[in-house]
Structure 1
Amino acid sequence: MTNVVKLFDTTLRDGTQGEGISLSVEDKIKIAGKLDTLGVQYIEGGWPGSNHKDIEFFNRVKELDLKNAKVTAFGSTRRKGIKAEEDMNLMRILETKVSVATIFGKSWDFHVHKAIQTSLEENLEMIYDSVKYLKNKGLEVIYDAEHFFDGYKNNTEYAIATIQKAEEAGADWIVLCDTNGGSLPHEISNIVSKVCGTLSTPIGIHTHNDCELAVANSLAAVEAGARQVQGTMNGLGERCGNANLISIIPNLQLKLKYECITEEQLAQLTNVSRYISEIANINMPVNQPYVGAAAFAHKGGIHVSAIMKHPKTYEHIVPELVGNKQRVLVSELAGQSNVLFKAQELDLDFNKESAQTKQIIEEIKTLEHQGYQFEGADASLELLLRKAFDKLDEIFTLESFKILVAKTKESPVASEAIVKLNVHGEIVYMAAEGAGPVNALDNAIRKALEKFYPDIKKMHLSDYKVRVIDEKDATAAKVRVLIESSDFKNTWSTVGVSENIIEASWQALVDSIRYGLIGKTKSNLEEEKQEILGLINH
């Protein structure tokens, strides 16, 4: 049995059925390019018979010079009572000029009677006619047996008959679908094994995550003989989502030793996951396995002490294999090992036995007690450590700032900020307007510093969060402001705490700008990238 597993990505079709997910044609083109770079073998572009957006996608995707992937169009078997050559959905698939068609049909007798309201025999003919018609047109045909596992459990003989009809018609792949996501791994394994012993056509698996078992079910199916896995990037999809290919790929490749993509492509996994998350405008869970920011993050002092001796003590793989990296979080739980690790990252001369070390740890714990949260604000932590070791250049200082907020009956709220900064001994006044007081303050600071630091134009605020630390104090409560910033190459987070939201925002904004201007350069990042690739290759 071959050890190669083909990847079928349906982010652009099934993934867009997830709540809050809407991709433009341009978004879908960008994602298709990324999926091809990752090495995915099949990209399901959409259902050309359902909307104009998908039709436009199939026209434009032809312009991409795809190296690894085949684009497939999705549709259903012919409707009851008509010939395959007269069915508009099948005709729309042919009009896309794709080389691969993916069509689904009913495997569950309950659906045949209730959903499409036809006879069991007519449904079998619909499957056979549709697959045969597309095969006669020269297409590779992937047949998705919808609700197969529910159908198998309810009427085994009929469920098997449906996929035998697809095989008889010449289907290149038969994919077994757990469409309702209600099956368990042992059920998937048992049923897939029996199907593989019945059919000669290669089998695929398509699972949903309604029981949070889509990844486990997909792996169980592969172990039982499936050789194609369908899923989406980051598990996007209807209801609870589809099988998450971002987790399935490294599990198959690193744990079970199946061949899916190259090692170099696997090292792009984190980048692809985060890129698609940005395009889809969704927040990626920090604890997402393999690619999340916290996937290889260590907080407890004992854990950090151990990983400094050997990363394998608390890491199941080398993070760089999937393009991620190890992180050590410094918080009120931190011991000397955490701070030592961060200091080594920054090339600071750090002696864990010194009084200075104990003083820094105590300061971090005091600040966290006041409401600061450095585990979510690495940039602020780095600035704090650099300052403690006199390695932080004071690129500007605040003399004063004023914020004006005005509202009239006829106009919306208007905000203006006026800042007075000392930049290397030169006093600079600047005013700027903004959508709100924090935005106005941000704009004023940037305008004041542009003459001295032109690179500040490349930086932008990408996220802004406010949390009340102690709700019982009502409007007098302290607030914590977390700001995420980006220069289109890097992303960093900073924190500020105060009873005054503007003061807390100022602290986070200033840290953000300081870090951006003294942080890693493009050449630093390229050096790190080469080090990672060198590690993988050796």
Structure 2
Amino acid sequence: MSQKEFSIVDTTLREGEQFYKSNFSTLDKIEIARQLSDFGVEYIELTSPCASPKSRMDCETIARMGLNSKVLTHIRCTKEDAITAIETGVFGINFFFRLSILKDKTCFEKQISETLENILDVLWFTRKNAPEMEIRFSLEDIFRTPVDRLIKIYEAVGKSGWVDRLGISDTVGIALPSDVEKLVGLLKSLYPKDIEFHGHNDTGCAVANSYAALKAGATHINTSILGIGERNGITSLAGFIARIYSLDIDLIKGKYNLKQFKQLHETIAKRIGIDIPLNHPIVGKAAFMHKAGVHTKSVILNPKSYEIINPSDFDELRTILIAHKLVGWNAVKERANKIGLAFKDDEIKKISLKIKQLSDGKNIELKKVDEILINAYRKE
């Protein structure tokens, strides 16, 4: 499968619920699920229906919404969880298992044989009782687990024919992109079907690791809005979209409704009671702000000189900052033209110097710059 055929599994309504400030109501989840579907994510993952009575009700409700996105739930690898998940009517089940619980090295072979037998029994049971259901099986914390243990499990699960894809999880964000690329490549050689990647951001590598997984042959990438999740969260939807957009604009514009992007992030920020981080890709307040004189001159002439993303594609605005000591005269000239004032270049340079002197050591507002421009114009 080529890098262009990936699917986003957005887990804001599962991993995102584990963010320390999250507590989504049923109505919140309905709104978020609808906006995610309108944006175009291929999958929406929900909290296990076994987590609480409300979680089960939410799974059932969202599964019945008729969304374009496929609705999944994330459950433990047990028959009891599988029965409950099947009863909710979701499109698919994402099983997870923590292999690192097998601590006793002296009897590891016995432990892993018994574990594998139990895993395969659950997968067979689920496939038998829900033959049309999409099934993923994932191991947690795989980058701190010996490769031979991983392969023994993944190879058996892959060959069973009872799952649609394998999942790999960098549960503590320890992996480097090279680690991810190597392991995904190895799994693809053993199991030439779909592979899903879930990367945490504890070391700031989640987006890079997700792209490395995609390059190596992964087909499904987990994201959450604003990257929210356990601890530092996971691959942010905006970060992943920005990464792929920078490489293939037409692909992203063709797959997703980018005009919905801003509203989606504003909704989540409001529901969890935070501001969108200023430096967040695409939707952060500073994402398309240009300040230094060299930068602003270039951007005025050709925005691509300092932008790899066109803000208008996402209903965002570009801002040329001029009320500061680093301002360049080209930016001041553009502002003058915008408010209907024409100056010769020599005059604009003098005005720019005045703005620099006034703002060196203190903050001034844009209205002060406009006042300076208007007063200078009246004196002509």
TM-score range for the pair, normalised by the shorter chain length: 0.7 to 0.9
| Compared CA separation, residues 278 and 170, structure 1 to 2 (3 A) | same
Structure 1 contact 47–75 (Cα < 8 Å) conserved: yes
Name the CA distance, whole Å, in 1 between partners of 2:193 and 2:21. Answer: 37
Hey, what does 2:18 align to over in structure 1? 17
| Compared CA separation, residues 273 and 361, structure 1 to 2 (3 A) | farther
Could you tell me which runs of 5 or more consecutive residues in structure 1 were left unpaired when the two chains were aligned. 79-83, 375-380, 391-538
Q: How far does the alpha carbon of each residue in 1:330-349 deviate from its partner, in whole angstroms, 9 at most, with x for none? A: 212213222233344x4422
Give secondary structure in 1 for the equivalent of 2:345: coil
Within 5 Å, give how 1:57-456 maps onto structure 2: 57-62=58-63, 64-67=65-68, 69-78=69-78, 84=79, 87=80, 89-106=81-98, 108=99, 110-113=100-103, 119-136=111-128, 137-138=130-131, 139-151=133-145, 154=146, 156-167=147-158, 168-255=160-247, 259=251, 262=254, 265-330=257-322, 331-344=324-337, 346-351=338-343, 353=345, 355=347, 358-359=350-351, 362=354, 365-366=357-358, 369-372=361-364, 374=365, 381=366, 385=370, 389=374
Name the CA distance, whole Å, in 2 between partners of 1:325 and 1:242. Answer: 27
Name the CA distance, whole Å, in 2 between partners of 1:260 and 1:302. Answer: 30
Residue 273 of structure 1 and its aligned partner are, at CA, apart by: 2.4
Residue 267 of structure 1 and its aligned partner are, at CA, apart by: 4.2
Residue 315 of structure 1 and its aligned partner are, at CA, apart by: 1.5
The structure with the largest strand share of the pair is 1
Name the CA distance, whole Å, in 1 between partners of 2:27 and 2:37. Answer: 16
Structure 2 contact 332–348 (Cα < 8 Å) conserved: no
Residue 158 of structure 1 and its aligned partner are, at CA, apart by: 2.0
Structure 2 contact 168–197 (Cα < 8 Å) conserved: yes
Residue 272 of structure 1 and its aligned partner are, at CA, apart by: 2.4
Structure 2 contact 63–88 (Cα < 8 Å) conserved: no
Instruction: Tell me whether 1:45 sits opposite 2:76 in the alignment.
Output: no
The structure with the largest helix share of the pair is 2
Structure 1 contact 5–259 (Cα < 8 Å) conserved: no
| Compared CA separation, residues 389 and 135, structure 1 to 2 (3 A) | farther
Hey, what does 1:429 align to over in structure 2? none
Name the CA distance, whole Å, in 1 between partners of 2:64 and 2:333. Answer: 51
| Compared CA separation, residues 113 and 333, structure 1 to 2 (3 A) | same
Give secondary structure in 1 for the equivalent of 2:168: strand
Residue 8 of structure 1 and its aligned partner are, at CA, apart by: 0.1
Equivalent residue letter for 1:143: F
Normalized against structure 1, the TM-score is what? Answer: 0.63
Give secondary structure in 2 for the equivalent of 1:102: strand
Residue 157 of structure 1 and its aligned partner are, at CA, apart by: 2.2
Equivalent residue letter for 2:181: S
Name the CA distance, whole Å, in 1 between partners of 2:20 and 2:258. Answer: 28
Equivalent residue letter for 1:337: N
| Compared CA separation, residues 134 and 254, structure 1 to 2 (3 A) | farther
Name the CA distance, whole Å, in 2 between partners of 1:317 and 1:13. Answer: 29
Name the CA distance, whole Å, in 2 between partners of 1:263 and 1:389. Answer: 47
| Compared CA separation, residues 263 and 5, structure 1 to 2 (3 A) | closer
Structure 1 contact 252–258 (Cα < 8 Å) conserved: no
Q: How far does the alpha carbon of each residue in 1:215-255 deviate from its partner, in whole angstroms, 9 at most, with x for none? A: 10110011000011012111111111111121112322441
| Compared CA separation, residues 220 and 25, structure 1 to 2 (3 A) | same
Hey, what does 1:449 align to over in structure 2? none
Residue 266 of structure 1 and its aligned partner are, at CA, apart by: 3.0
Normalized against structure 2, the TM-score is what? Answer: 0.87
Name the CA distance, whole Å, in 2 between partners of 1:171 and 1:260. Answer: 28
Structure 2 contact 40–255 (Cα < 8 Å) conserved: no
Name the CA distance, whole Å, in 2 between partners of 1:130 and 1:256. Answer: 40
Give secondary structure in 1 for the equivalent of 2:242: helix
| Compared CA separation, residues 221 and 361, structure 1 to 2 (3 A) | same
Name the CA distance, whole Å, in 2 between partners of 1:73 and 1:7. Answer: 15
Structure number with bigger Rg:
1
- Identify which range, 124-133 or 209-218, moves more after superposition: 124-133
Residue 260 of structure 1 and its aligned partner are, at CA, apart by: 5.8
Residue 103 of structure 1 and its aligned partner are, at CA, apart by: 1.1
Equivalent residue letter for 1:9: D
Structure 1 contact 332–365 (Cα < 8 Å) conserved: yes
Name the CA distance, whole Å, in 2 between partners of 1:34 and 1:195. Answer: 34
Structure 1 contact 129–169 (Cα < 8 Å) conserved: no
Q: How far does the alpha carbon of each residue in 1:4-31 deviate from its partner, in whole angstroms, 9 at most, with x for none? A: 0000011111112122222222211111
Give secondary structure in 2 for the equivalent of 1:22: coil
Structure with greater contact order relative to length (CA < 8 Å, sep ≥ 6)? 2
Name the CA distance, whole Å, in 2 between partners of 1:13 and 1:349. Answer: 54
Name the CA distance, whole Å, in 1 between partners of 2:226 and 2:77. Answer: 29
| Compared CA separation, residues 348 and 132, structure 1 to 2 (3 A) | farther
| Compared CA separation, residues 327 and 77, structure 1 to 2 (3 A) | same
Could you tell me which runs of 5 or more consecutive residues in structure 2 were left unpaired when the two chains were aligned. 376-380
- Equivalent pairs counted in the alignment come to 366
Q: How far does the alpha carbon of each residue in 1:104-138 deviate from its partner, in whole angstroms, 9 at most, with x for none? A: 013x3x32337xx9921221122212222222213
Structure 1 contact 38–261 (Cα < 8 Å) conserved: no
Q: How far does the alpha carbon of each residue in 1:256-306 deviate from its partner, in whole angstroms, 9 at most, with x for none? A: 579466266134333422332222221212111232221221111121112
Equivalent residue letter for 1:163: Y
Give secondary structure in 2 for the equivalent of 1:351: coil
Name the CA distance, whole Å, in 1 between partners of 2:351 and 2:36. Answer: 48
Structure 1 contact 175–203 (Cα < 8 Å) conserved: yes
Q: How far does the alpha carbon of each residue in 1:441-497 deviate from its partner, in whole angstroms, 9 at most, with x for none? A: xxxxxxxxxxxxxxxxxxxxxxxxxxxxxxxxxxxxxxxxxxxxxxxxxxxxxxxxx
- Identify which range, 195-204 or 285-294, moves more after superposition: 285-294
Name the CA distance, whole Å, in 2 between partners of 1:99 and 1:158. Answer: 30
